[in-house]
Structure formats: C-alpha cells, structure tokens
Chain A
Amino acid sequence: MSDLTKLTLKAALDGLKARDFSSEEITRAFVANIDAANPRLNAYVVQTTDKALAMARASDARLAKGEGGALEGAPLGIKDLFCTDGVQTTAGSNMLRGFVPPYESTVTANLWRDGAVMLGKLNMDEFAMGSSNETSAFDPVVNPWKSTTSNADLTPGGSSGGSASAVAGDLCLAATASDTGGSIRQPAAFTGTVGIKPTYGRASRFGMVAFASSLDQAGPITKTVEDAAILLRSMCSHDPKDATSLDVETPDWTRSLGQSVKGLRIGVPKEYVVDGMPAEIQALWDQGIAWLKAAGCEIVPISLPHTKYALPAYYIIAPAEASSNLARYDGMRFGHRAEGTTSLADLYETSRAEGFGKEVQRRLTIGAYVLSAGFYDAYYVRALKVRRRIAMDFDAVWDKVDAIVTPSTPSAAFALGDKQIDPLQMYLNDIFTVTANLAGLPGISVPAGVDKGGLPLGLQVIGKALDEATVFQVASALEDAAGFVAKPEKWW
C-alpha cells in the first residue's frame, strides 16, 4: 500500500468507501506521522490517539455495513479553538491550560455526525490573535516548507498555523480552522494549502472560543479545492445556538468544481497594489489574471476605494470585541486563577496578567482604550462607520463582477522571529484578507506559485455573500491552471 497520508481527503474517502484500506489503517499512518513530526513541527498541542482509533474502528464497522457519512473514517485535525467534549481546549492560551469542555462545538459535532475521526487538537496563536503562531502559549508551529536560500525555521502563518502545518506536512487529511482577519487564508498561502473562510454566518460559532464575534468564522484548510468544498459542507449548518447563524441551505459545492468559468466577470481591485509589495507577488497576481482570461473570464478593473482603511478599522473593532469577549476570563468559574492575591481587583488583574500572553494583553488594552469614555465615538464608532464604507465598496461592484481576484498575502512565509519586534509589521500580513471579514464575504486562498526561494504563494478569490459556489468555481479554475503540485521536502 502506498503512503495513505499523502492522499487527498477526496481520494481517502473514495478508498475508505471502496474498502481499499480501513480507517484504522489510515488513522495509524497519521498517528505515526504525527509522532515522528510533532517534536519538530509542533503542530499538535494534544494528540487523541486512543479516541482516534476508537472512532476509526466505529467507522470501519459502519463502512463494512455499507453505511457511513460524508466524512466516514477520515482522520482530521481540529484547531484548538473548537471546544471538544472531554478533550482539553485552550485556544493556545495559558488562561485555558487544562480546560476540558463538557460540550462539543457545533462545527466539530457536525464532523463527528458525518463520521470523521479526530487525531488531536492543533496549535494556534493565543485566542487567534497573531499571524505567525508565535503568540501561542505552547510555542510556535514550524512550517514544513523551507526556503532554498536559507535553513531558517519558517512560520506557517497564523492564527491557524497548526492546521496549515499539519495539512502541508501530511499530519492529517484536512483540518478545521478559523478566520477573523485572515487566519485561514494567510496560513494556507504560506503552506501551499487551500483555505476558505465562508460567508459570515454559514458555520456556527457555538463552541468556538470567541475572539471578535462579528468577524470570527470557521472554515477548512485542505490539500485541494475539492477537499475544501467537501469539508466546508460538513462544517456549515444552521444552528439555533448561534444567534448569527444563517438559516440557509448548505449547497454541495463540489458541483461547482471544474465548471467552465467562460464569461465570468473577474474584478481586479487597483487598491490591492500596495507599497513595497514584492515583484513576485505582483507577477503571481498577473499570472492568475492571465490564467482566468485564457479560460474565458472577462477581466474587469475595479476600485474598492476604502481598502487601505480596512486594517486600521479592524485593529479597533477586533480588539474592542475581544476586550468584551475575554472579560469572561476572571479567574472565578474556569480558567487560570492567581494565588495569594489581596483584593478582588488584584485577583482579577493578576489572574489575567498571568493567564494572557503579551499580544493578547496588548489587544485587550487597545480594546479597553477605544471603548473607554471620551474615545468611544472617536475610535470605535468611527471604525464601525468605516467598516460600512468598506462593505459598501463591495456592494457597489457586485453588479459589475462575479468574483474578485487578489494575492492572498503580501509575501511568502517569513522566518520565525522576523516580525516579532514590531506589531504593526505583523498586522500588515492581513492586508488583503481582512476586507472579506469586515464585509462578511467568502474568501479562499489557492496555492498558485512559488517565490524565488521555492516557497508557496497564494491567490485569493473573494465572492458575494452566500456565493461560495462561484468562489469555488473560480478557485478550481485557478488550481487547474496553476497545477501546483510542489510539496515540502521532508526534513523533520
């Protein structure tokens, strides 16, 4: 039997259904990969091997009877921000070290309903606040990719860096992830994987550790566009337990794949040309546009005039929402509690100072500042108005274009430690992705080329709200044209 861990999710599901191999076999193959790789890549913070094997054997029993769901027997990795019943869930924070939820997130419950197997919980930036995985309380994840020009350990991106590294390194068939400002798409771009953030409200936020609730959205990181379509479908559902969950049907997006894109109108926003963007990012973008033109798309130059204000608006709105959401960590009912404190305020303040890492503290402080008396209107309300301007920019182009193509990130993966000194430099990672969060739109990153060091680069497709079908259709065309097959050379 060839190496089962190199299969795509789709190929593995077909093989499992045909009984070419068992779920227990492929699960054991992944467990062996994780055991060997995790000391170097640090993608998993918890391995649930016993649980995985039990789930795999139950899947095999169902498959033997010709039964089974859409993901039956497929071993997946779960970002450690999805609450998993009886399995530690920390969101990468010391605040939640040892926290074992007595309930299951809706997204993961949907996966288990469909027969998936849980290999473990994947490392991430603390409370999803980071773009390099370096804010994790469990040490950074390392990217399986290395540049041909340096032996430095590279970031897999963030916050879903564990998810991206695990998929790229064949430590799971596919992984769940979440995206508040680019946390699915940027790590996907950095690791040569596919990542989609669906329309806000498609996937339930119930049981997802909250960062910024009006922006947080779950989605998959996978090896192919088809795998993303399969996994996203299982993740999404209408959920009465999430007040912002959309009461809409979840389509079968695999039907959009391979459909001709002839006649589709593709917007190219001029504001996504940013100062200091490397020539190879521009070249990749031009190449993507050329591929789509060759496939019969009509290329339409568009303007999204408020693009440059998206990141500053995000860095008010997201910290403001975080400061409210993370107020729950008070050391009383769950989470870290400091010892030896002298008053109630001291107990709160010391517990939070000990439990939260530096970046989380920074953002909570910004959040408290922009919401404080005298600054609320000047900062927070103004940012919400700019957010509407950004959403209106998109509304204004949807009668002219069916989808928008941009680069996913302003660079390839950088070395761990490179951008830690300046938070602003780190924030700029999300410059192309954050607009889709603010406007609630679906966005996908597809690997489309490599930089001069052989590192993967991604193209992003943004679509209309609830029109993931067109996003998948265009992404599939880009994937076909790019023929991206490079894999990281195994060094771990």
Chain B
Amino acid sequence: MAIDAATVRRVAHLARIKTPEDRLEPLAAELNGILAWIEQLNEVDVTGVEPMTSNVAQPMRLRDDVVTDGNRVADVLGNAPRSADGFFVVPKVVE
C-alpha cells in the first residue's frame, strides 16, 4: 500500500512532528521505499504464532505499594524550560 503526501501529513501529525509541505513528497518516497522492503514479512507463515512482546520469561514483579521517593521539587523542575514557584510554566493553551 503506497503512502501519499496526505498520509505523511496525517502520520506526522500523529507523531507530533511539524513537517513542512515541501517535505511531504520526499518523505512519502522514503517511507514507501522502507515499507516496500518491510512487505517481505508477508511471506512468513505466522499462523498460530503468538506475538512476542518481551524476551523476559519471568513474570512481572510487583513492588509494595508504598512511597519510596518524593519531596524533590527542585530536582523535578531542574530541567524545565520554564518554572516558577514550584510549578512548570507552559504557554497558555486555552483557545
């Protein structure tokens, strides 16, 4: 299935990456090249095969539901693009 510029625009929006109009066609061509190569997976008989999501055979562990960390406001905010009074500051987004 070929990807066109409109599909790239939609997917780029899903990925939240601003993509200029003049990049849509070249990106579509690149993605089509990669996806055409990926199509060979359709040759594999996967009847009855369970999807493999993990290499780890052990069951997921649960830890005790207790507080183990906290009260590190300065650390949490230390890399914020902007912060004030112990809060993240973000642009106003109510439109």
Query: What residues make up the interface of A, taking CB atoms closer than 8 Å to B?
Result: 98-103, 200-201, 214, 240, 243-244, 246-247, 306, 308-309, 312-313, 315-316, 323, 327, 330-337, 341, 343-350, 352-353, 356, 361-362, 364-369, 372, 379, 381-389, 391, 423-424, 439-440, 465
Contacts and interface: CB of A to CB of B under 8 A. Distances in A.
Interface string B66-95: 000000100110111110000010110101
B2 interface: no
Given A344-B93, A383-B41, 13 more contacts: A240-B61, A247-B58, A332-B90, A343-B95, A349-B16, A349-B17, A349-B18, A364-B17, A369-B3, A372-B11, A384-B53, A385-B49, A440-B55
B14 to A, nearest CB: 4
A381 B65 CA distance: 33
B31 interface: yes
Interface in B7-33: 7-8, 11-19, 27, 30-31, 33
Minimum-distance CB pairs A-B, first 9 = A440-B55, A384-B51, A334-B79, A388-B52, A102-B75, A349-B18, A385-B46, A337-B81, A368-B15
A465 B56 CA distance: 10
Contacts of B37: 312, 315, 424
Given A102-B72, A214-B54, A347 B91 contact: yes
A330 B16 contact: yes
B56 A244 contact: yes
Nearest to B60: A243
8 contacts: A313-B41, A335-B81, A341-B91, A343-B95, A346-B18, A347-B91, A349-B12, A424-B33
Given A332-B90, A366-B34, A423-B34, A386 B41 contact: yes
A102 B78 contact: yes
Nearest to B27: A365
Contact of A316 (B15, B30, B38): B38
Contact of A345 (B16, B55, B78): B16
- A98, A200, A308, A369 pick with most chain B CB within 10 angstroms: A369
B56 A246 contact: yes
B71 to A, nearest CB: 13
Contacts of B51: 381, 384-385, 387-388
A271 to B, nearest CB: 13
Given A214-B55, A243-B61, A369-B3, A349 B31 contact: no
- Chain B facing A: main interface SS: loop
A332 B82 CA distance: 8
A333 B63 CA distance: 27
A315 B81 contact: no
Contacts of B8: 365
A347 B16 CA distance: 9
A391 B31 CA distance: 27
- B13, B37, B41, B75 pick with most chain A CB within 10 angstroms: B41
A26 to B, nearest CB: 33
A134 to B, nearest CB: 16
A386 B33 contact: no
Contacts of A364: 15, 17
A388 B51 CA distance: 7
Contacts of A362: 27, 30-31
A331 B40 contact: no
A356 B17 contact: yes
Given A365-B8, A384-B53, A389 B91 contact: no
A387 B18 contact: no
A336 B46 CA distance: 42
A386 B46 contact: yes
Nearest to A364: B15
Nearest to A441: B55
Given A246-B58, A388-B51, A382 B17 contact: no
Contacts of A366: 31, 34-35
Contact of B50 (A246, A341, A353, A388): A388
A228 to B, nearest CB: 21
Contacts of B81: 331-332, 334-337
Nearest to A214: B54
B30 to A, nearest CB: 7
Contact of B56 (A98, A200, A346, A369): A200
A332 B60 CA distance: 31
Contacts of A356: 17
B27 to A, nearest CB: 7
Contacts of B31: 362, 365-366, 369
